[in-house]
């Protein structure tokens, strides 16, 4: 039976972890994700879970402990943000290359420097090509739901890749929202038990994990990772179908909002989607056919599906909450425009870098993006595809 509650995003993530009841949670505190292991440690102390909670000395050690636990045959989880994820850097790649389906709650925050504890997506974007599945969450509800689906995706025999569930630091992690929880028994039946085929503590099959992998085999192993990421896209959809049958809540690779008859649209991720939807509604009241595409699954990137969803638009703006620092746009922009090219589509596209370091992005600013798109439609040209939104001293 579903339960109505009011929770912050961090509380929702911790409760999801409690209901999953993993074998091991290893974590080190870092703002704004600290509350997740803090809440979870209370569940451990109260005997509400059977989890072995490991309070380590650093985030590098947290991921190392998760790798060791998962390789031994245990289901492992962790949570971190920004600089903590950066300290895990070496182990992030090792976790994915060893095909260990660890699940991490990543509360998105700006990566130093300069030091900033507030939200942007520079942490997730920094590891976007590390071999981890990445799910993004607009709301506390979506963060909770994504975590409930995470293990069924990551542990699927066709996938066997680690997965991170992203939510915006402070914006959702600390904001309290109404949320629908499932009961513990329903969640545990849905998630199921973890039964790996190969693990270190299997006395009947002695194996080594993480051996040296030189020219003879590394290329093939990387190709296997790439194929697993491709397989993950259908598995994500299959798990979402099961989840919808259980809860009535629908999830896809992305969410289309008022795109059916739209002439212009914004593409964005995480909590910004809520503001963008409100802005689209405001533009509709002015007679402008505006829409929004919210990316939920960033890795694997649903290139063909997104391109088809945006097909026929007269102009599109892609919003990045991380600067690529490459002089050709942010990560989401380059992926979307690459999808257009491969699908032989010509859609005028413009990139906006916004919200870095927690800079507030208002509905008025989002409406200004739609107005800019109207100008692109009117003139038929994109004067400057690389723009900034809400930065002082630069209108674009």
The yes-or-no verdict on residue 106 having pLDDT over 60 is: yes
Is 396 part of any domain?
Answer: no
Specify if 165 maps to a domain. yes
What DSSP designation does 286 have? T
pLDDT of residue 365: 98
Residue 142 belongs to what domain range?
Answer: 3-247
Q: What span, in angstroms and rounded, lies between the C-alpha atoms of 283 and 336?
A: 23
Q: What integer is the mean pLDDT of 19-24?
A: 98
Mean pLDDT value of segment 364-388: 97
* Predicted confidence band of residue 395 (pLDDT cuts 50, 70, 90): low
Asked if residue 353 and residue 220 are part of one domain, the reply reads no
Residues 44 and 178 in one domain: yes
The verdict on 20 and 122 lying in the same domain is yes
Q: Are residues 160 and 279 in the same domain?
A: no
Alpha-carbon span 126 to 131, nearest angstrom = 12
Residue 395 lies in a domain: no
* CA dist., res. 140 & res. 6, Å (int): 10
Alpha carbon 209 to chain centroid, angstroms: 28
φ, ψ (nearest 5 deg) of residue 363: -60, -35
Mean pLDDT of the chain: 97
Residues near 390 by Cβ (< 8 Å), separated by ≥ 6?
354, 355, 359, 360, 361, 362, 365
Element (H, E) at 349: strand 349-354
How does pLDDT run across 26-60, given as a tens digit for each residue? 999 999 999 999 999 999 999 999 999 999 999 99
Final residue of a domain: which of 208, 228, 247? 247
Report the alpha-carbon distance of residue 313 to residue 391 in Å, rounded: 27
Q: Are residues 47 and 68 in the same domain?
A: yes
169: left (phi over 0), alpha (psi -120 to 50) or beta: beta
Question: By CB neighbour count within 10 A (0-12 exposed, 13-18 middle, 19+ buried), where does 334 fall?
Answer: middle
- Cα separation, 313 vs 188, whole angstroms: 43
Mean local confidence (pLDDT), 177-190: 97
Any domain includes 394: no
Same domain membership, residue 280 and residue 219: no
Distance of CA 260 to the CA centre of its chain: 25
* CATH code for position 332: 3.40.50.920
Domain of 170, CATH number, reads 3.40.50.970
What pLDDT digit, counting tens, does each position of 219-230 carry? 999 999 999 999
In this predicted structure, the answer to whether residue 313 has a pLDDT above a threshold of 60 is yes
Number of domains into which the chain is organized: 2
Q: What percent of the chain has pLDDT over 70?
A: 99
Q: What is the per-residue pLDDT across 199-208, written as a single tens digit (0 to 9) for each?
A: 999 999 999 9
15: left (phi over 0), alpha (psi -120 to 50) or beta: alpha
* Final residue in a domain of this structure, among 223, 247, 271: 247
| C-alpha angle 90-31-144 in degrees, rounded to nearest 5 | 85
Q: Model confidence over 325-348: pLDDT tens digits?
A: 999 999 999 999 999 999 999 999
Residue 160 in domain: yes
Q: Answer yes or no: do 336 and 262 share one domain.
A: yes
The 10 Å CB-count burial string (b at 16+, else e) for 162-198 is bbbbbbbbbbbbbeeeebebbebebbeebbeebebee
Phi, psi dihedrals of residue 222, rounded to the nearest 5°: -65, -40
Tell me: pLDDT of 396 over 60. no
């Amino acid at each position: 039976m579903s339960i109505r509650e009011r929770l912050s995003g961090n509380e929702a993530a911790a409760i999801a972890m409690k209901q999953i009841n993993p074998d091991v949670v290893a974590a080190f505190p870092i703002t704004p994700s600290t509350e997740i292991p803090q809440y979870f440690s209370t569940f451990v102390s109260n005997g509400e879970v059977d989890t072995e909670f490991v309070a380590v000395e650093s985030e590098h050690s947290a991921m190392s402990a998760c790798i060791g636990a998962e390789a031994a045959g245990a289901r492992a989880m962790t949570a971190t943000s920004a600089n903590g994820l950066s300290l895990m850097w070496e182990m992030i790649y090792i976790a994915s290359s060893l095909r260990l389906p660890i699940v991490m709650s990543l509360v998105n925050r700006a990566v130093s420097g300069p030091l900033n504890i507030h939200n942007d997506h520079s942490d997730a974007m920094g590891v976007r090509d590390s071999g981890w599945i990445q799910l993004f969450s607009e709301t506390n509800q979506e963060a909770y739901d994504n975590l409930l689906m995470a293990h069924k995706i990551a542990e699927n025999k066709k996938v066997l890749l680690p997965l991170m569930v992203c939510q915006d630091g402070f914006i959702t992690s600390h904001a309290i929202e109404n949320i629908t929880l499932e009961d513990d028994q329903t969640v545990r039946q849905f998630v199921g038990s973890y039964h790996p085929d190969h693990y270190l503590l299997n006395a009947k099959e002695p194996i080594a994990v993480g051996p040296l992998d030189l020219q003879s085999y590394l290329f093939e192993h990387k190709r296997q990772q790439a194929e697993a990421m491709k397989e993950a896209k259908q598995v994500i959809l299959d798990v979402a179908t099961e989840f919808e049958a259980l809860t009535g809540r629908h999830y896809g690779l992305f969410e289309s909002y008022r795109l059916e008859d739209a002439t212009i649209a914004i593409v964005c991720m995480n909590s910004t989607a809520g503001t963008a939807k409100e802005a689209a509604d405001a533009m509709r009241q002015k007679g402008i056919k505006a829409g929004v595409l919210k990316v939920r699954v960033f890795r694997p990137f649903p290139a063909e599906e997104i391109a088809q969803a945006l097909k026929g638009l007269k102009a599109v703006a892609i919003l990045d909450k991380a600067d690529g620092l490459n002089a050709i746009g942010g990560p989401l922009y380059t992926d979307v425009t690459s999808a257009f090219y491969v699908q032989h589509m010509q859609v005028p596209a413009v990139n906006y870098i916004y919200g870095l370091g927690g800079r507030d992005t208002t509905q008025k600013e989002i409406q200004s993006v739609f107005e800019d798109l109207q100008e692109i439609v009117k003139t038929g040209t994109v004067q400057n595809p690389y723009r900034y939104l809400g930065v002082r001293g630069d209108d674009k």
